[in-house]
Amino acid sequence: MYAIVEIAGQQFKVFKDQKIFVHRQEGEVGDKLKFERVYLVDNESDIKVGMPVVDGASIQASIVSHVRGDKVLVFKKKRRKTFQKMTGHRQDFTQLLIEDITV
């Protein structure tokens, strides 16, 4: 059984007992979250597609940890102008454990 769900503006294909990294979510480690923007649920041979969401479907998840991603370096240079600029960015992520998919 799997579902397509929207979490923090992104769509994820999730299975039960799966761990996923999503953009930073509010809450402490161990808190329970519920996501109700479920677009598709596949329960073996029974597929339910929402218009745009499946009525009554939800995903239960718990927060496992808050982490930071790898550093992404952005280097800008204009030739013959002695202009160089280096900046970096580290995205904050939350690791979620998908506990239950209800239809």
d(CA 8, CA 37): 10
**Bridge-based pairing state of the strands 19-23 and 92-102:** antiparallel
Domain boundaries, the chain: 2-102
Arithmetic mean of pLDDT, 83-89: 97
pLDDT tens-digit series, residues 19-70: 999 999 999 999 999 999 999 999 888 899 999 999 999 999 999 999 999 9
Q: Are strands 2-7 and 38-43 parallel, antiparallel or unpaired?
A: antiparallel
The sign of the torsion formed by the CA atoms of 58, 54, 10, 2 equals positive
Nearest to 94 by CA among 71, 65, 73: 65
